[in-house]
Amino acid sequence: MRGMIAALVLLCCQSFSPAMAQGLKQADVNAAVEDFKNGQYSSALTAFRVILPVTKDPKQRADILWNIARSLEELGRPRDALGAFEQFAAETKRADAKAKITKLTALVFGRVAVQCGGRAVAVSLEGREGAPRPCPTVFQRVEPGSVVVVGEVAGEAFGRSVAKVVAGQSVDVELKAPAVPQTTEAAESSFSVLWAVGGAGLLVGAGVGLYFLLEEGPPAEDPRVVIWVDDMNQGLLRR
């Protein structure tokens, strides 16, 4: 009720002198502050929101923005309070709201921590703007609900995982990255090793064969073959 009265008073201020209008506005601010101190956060919020558009002084405007954010926080509306504190920080360039923003961000959003088994691949959240990130990574300020984590290698997706994000919590996701393909140099190196091993095996086998030949000596004479010389024709006869 007090907020509605404040709104009507402010609308009427246009026909009053600037000094009188300023006096009425300050009275409304004081009344809103009293409502906040007395725990009447909804009434205070309404009054502060009515006063804000007609407030031009930077310091007074900063105070009202802060009070709006605090009223929303006390009303248990963390998402709206976060937006109000971020507006305060953007307009005033002050760090007063940093702790509040950090606290409310943790309450409103979740986090997704992604691992990829040590492989240098890229990951992204399906439907979320932004270029893929190197894995491992942690996605901050993720809206609660189901999200799809996509892994990429050379611009092509290799895996997808669905994660359930809860406000104020962090969820871990591990993607199984594909095996590293063998490069041409690695293949040539492997072939060279195999060729060297095979060649060494052949040399060893040949050496072993030669050793046994030397140990056994020349083959024994076949008793079925007799070679003799005919003195008449110097020929070779076999029988």
Q: Does the pLDDT at position 189 exceed 60? A: no
What are 30-86's pLDDT values in tens digits?
Answer: 999 999 999 999 999 999 999 999 898 999 999 999 999 999 999 999 999 999 999
pTM of model > 0.75: no
Q: Rounded distance, CA 55 to CA 90, Å?
A: 17
**Secondary structure element (H or E) that encloses residue 197, with its range:** helix 184-216
Tokens of 221: 């004479």
User: Pick the residue with more confidence: 8 or 106?
Assistant: 106
Q: Rounded distance, CA 133 to CA 181, Å?
A: 22
Q: Does the pLDDT at position 226 exceed 50? A: no
Angle at which helices 98-108 and 78-92 cross, to 10°: 150
Q: What is the sign of the dihedral through the CA atoms of 178, 180, 182 and 184?
A: positive
**Range from 129-133, 191-195, 226-230 carrying the lowest mean pLDDT:** 226-230
Q: Does the pLDDT at position 186 exceed 60? A: no
Residue 8: pLDDT band (50, 70, 90) is very low
Q: Count the neighbouring beta carbons within 10 Å of the beta carbon of residue 149.
A: 21
Q: What is the sign of the dihedral through the CA atoms of 79, 81, 87 and 90?
A: negative
User: Pick the residue with more confidence: 92 or 6?
Assistant: 92
Q: Which domains does the chain have, with CATH numbers?
A: 2-107 (1.25.40.10), 110-174 (2.60.40.1120), 182-239 (no CATH)
Mean per-residue pLDDT for 131-138?
92
Q: Residue 231 has what pLDDT?
A: 43
Q: Residue 185 has what pLDDT?
A: 54
